[in-house]
């Protein structure tokens, strides 16, 4: 679904530019050639591929960002999974099941992209279920009402799209290509969220009230998904120099708000921001101060559901350990049987030749 955590204070890869980190004397000849080629790729806005030489800090930043994005997809299944069994119509149930399933698929693409950088899925998963890895804080909010399925689609997936469309041009090839597919599905997700809210707003008074109450809760956290203001986002600069990140947190946030306002008008929903006003001069919607203390608090683990989300994924993983072991044991036995059969066939062939 989304991640912006790379741009937060937790992603402490305050990696100085690759060239600057390495005094010439530290570099082998291979490294020197590799670095030159890498800088050339970045300079010409080309793609870096898994087999290409890359600075350790670039690799580390990508693994962190891509795996956090993957974790966000996997944890993001929970707040919506919460309503699959209670969806109020069969059509909505089908759409929601398909959407949550897409998220598992996104998690898989992303873990695969991260694996091309040399970190395996088991390691990343272990970091997730032990709480060592971060994921997007937005998923530490609860989904007490059905309207939250609408808000997540419209606001959370909407913010994700603003953030992720530029990632389709990220310098690391496997990540950029995974994002192309993910973005296509996200845009469908956003539309279905908008449609849920539209149905509620056009429904009974109780339904419209449910929609407004939900948007009131999700609006500010969705804006904070882009990460802290630019002057408090130390890692963004390096990521932008490496063509991983294309726009700053504040630029993306502004783009998102500009997109939301006309859509809110169509919905007939009020965005819970008294300071929201149109700036004739810039052509942008100005919005009020966000409560960043809440953002940092959720990040620290004090959100509505941090421990619950991780515990649930850990339980699923641990309860499934015997299944994975069985699958491995079965595959090993099959491979051994195939090897024995091949050996027997070779022996038989040799016998025949000898005869």
Partner 1 sequence: MSVKQRQAPTGIMTPELIETEIKGGLAATDSVGQYALGLGDDALVLAQRLGEWIANGPELEEDIALGNIGLDILGHARSFLTYAGSAWGKTEDDLAYFRSEPEFRCRQLFEQPIGDFAQTIARQLIASVYFDSLYRALMHSADPTLAAIAAKATKEVDYHLDHSTQWLLRLGLGTDESALRMQRGLDAMWPFVAELYSAEPVVESAAASVASVASAASAASVAEDDRGSLEGIAVDPRALRAEFDAVVPLLIEQAGLVVPKTGSVRGGGRLGIHSEAFGPMLAEMQVLARQHPGASW
CB of residue 211 to partner 1, shortest distance in Å: 11
Pairing mode, if any, of strands 277-279 and 284-286? Answer: antiparallel
Of 93, 89, 69, 71, whose CA–CA distance to 81 is shortest? Answer: 93
Radius of gyration of the chain (CA): 24
Between 48 and 197, name the residue whose CB sits nearer to partner 1.
197
352 binds partner 1, rule: CB under 8 A: no
97 binds partner 1, rule: CB under 8 A: yes
351 binds partner 1, rule: CB under 8 A: no
Q: Which of 5, 8, 58, 107 binds partner 1 (CB under 8 A)?
A: 107
Strand partners, 285: 278
Contact segment (CB under 8 A) with partner 1 among 81-89, 132-140, 228-236, 257-265 equals: 81-89
Query: Which one-letter DSSP state was computed for residue 8?
Result: S
Contact segment (CB under 8 A) with partner 1 among 37-45, 54-62, 202-210, 294-302 equals: 202-210
Long-range contact list for 227-234, CB < 8 A, 24+ apart?
Answer: 227/4, 227/5, 227/6, 227/7, 227/8, 228/7, 228/8, 228/9, 228/292, 228/295, 229/292, 232/9, 232/292, 233/7, 233/8, 233/9, 234/9, 234/14
Helix axes 249-267 and 157-164, enclosed angle (nearest 10): 140
Distance CA 340, CA 198 (A): 63
- Write the DSSP string, 205-246: HHHHHHHHHHHHHHHHHHHHTT-S-GGG-TTHHHHHHTTS--
Q: Which of 135, 146, 218, 256 binds partner 1 (CB under 8 A)?
A: 146
Q: Let me know: does 68 contact 3? Beta carbons within 8 Å.
A: yes
Between 19 and 316, name the residue whose CB sits nearer to partner 1.
316
Between 144 and 262, name the residue whose CB sits nearer to partner 1.
144
322 binds partner 1, rule: CB under 8 A: yes
270 binds partner 1, rule: CB under 8 A: no
Contact segment (CB under 8 A) with partner 1 among 3-11, 22-30, 105-113, 267-275 equals: 105-113
- Contact pattern for partner 1 over residues 182 through 201, marking x by CB under 8 A: --------------x--xx-
Q: Please, which of residues 18-57 interact with partner 1 by CB under 8 A?
A: none
Number of residues that bind partner 1 (CB under 8 A): 49
Q: Using CB under 8 A as the criterion, which residues of the chain lie in contact with partner 1 when the complex forms?
A: 74, 77-78, 81, 84-94, 97-98, 100-101, 104-105, 107-108, 111, 146, 196, 199-200, 203-204, 206-207, 312-313, 316-317, 319-330, 333
């Amino acid at each position: 679904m989304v991640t912006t955590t790379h741009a937060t204070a937790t992603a402490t890869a305050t990696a100085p530019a690759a060239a600057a980190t390495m005094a010439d004397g530290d570099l082998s000849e291979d490294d020197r050639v590799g670095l030159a080629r890498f800088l050339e790729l970045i300079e010409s806005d080309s793609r870096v591929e898994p087999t290409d030489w890359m600075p350790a800090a670039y690799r580390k930043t990508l693994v962190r960002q891509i795996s956090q994005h993957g974790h966000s997809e996997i944890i993001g299944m929970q707040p919506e999974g919460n309503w699959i069994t209670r969806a109020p119509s069969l059509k909505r149930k089908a759409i929601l099941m398909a959407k949550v399933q897409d998220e598992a698929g996104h998690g898989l693409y992303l873990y695969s992209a991260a694996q091309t950088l040399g970190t395996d899925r088991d390691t990343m998963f272990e970091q997730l279920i032990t709480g060592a890895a971060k994921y997007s804080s937005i998923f530490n909010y609860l989904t007490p009402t059905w309207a939250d399925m609408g808000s997540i689609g419209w606001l959370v997936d909407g913010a994700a799209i603003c953030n992720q469309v530029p990632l389709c041009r990220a310098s690391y090839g496997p990540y950029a290509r995974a994002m192309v597919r993910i973005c296509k599905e996200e845009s469908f997700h956003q539309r279905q969220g908008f449609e849920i809210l539209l149905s509620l707003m056009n429904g009974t008074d109780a339904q419209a009230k449910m929609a407004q109450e939900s948007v009131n809760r999700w609006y500010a956290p969705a804006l904070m998904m882009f990460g802290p203001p630019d002057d408090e986002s130390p890692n963004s600069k390096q990521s932008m120099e490496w063509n991983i990140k294309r726009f700053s947190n504040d630029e993306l946030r502004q783009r998102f708000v500009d997109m939301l306002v006309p859509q809110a008008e169509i919905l007939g929903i009020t965005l819970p921001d008294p300071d929201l006003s149109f700036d004739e001069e810039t052509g942008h919607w100005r919005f009020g101060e966000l409560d960043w203390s809440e953002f940092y608090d959720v990040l620290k683990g004090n959100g509505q559901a941090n421990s619950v989300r991780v515990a649930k994924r850990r339980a699923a993983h641990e309860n499934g350990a015997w299944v994975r072991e069985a699958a491995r044991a079965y595959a090993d036995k099959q491979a051994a049987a195939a090897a024995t059969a091949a050996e027997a066939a070779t022996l038989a062939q040799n016998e025949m030749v000898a005869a």
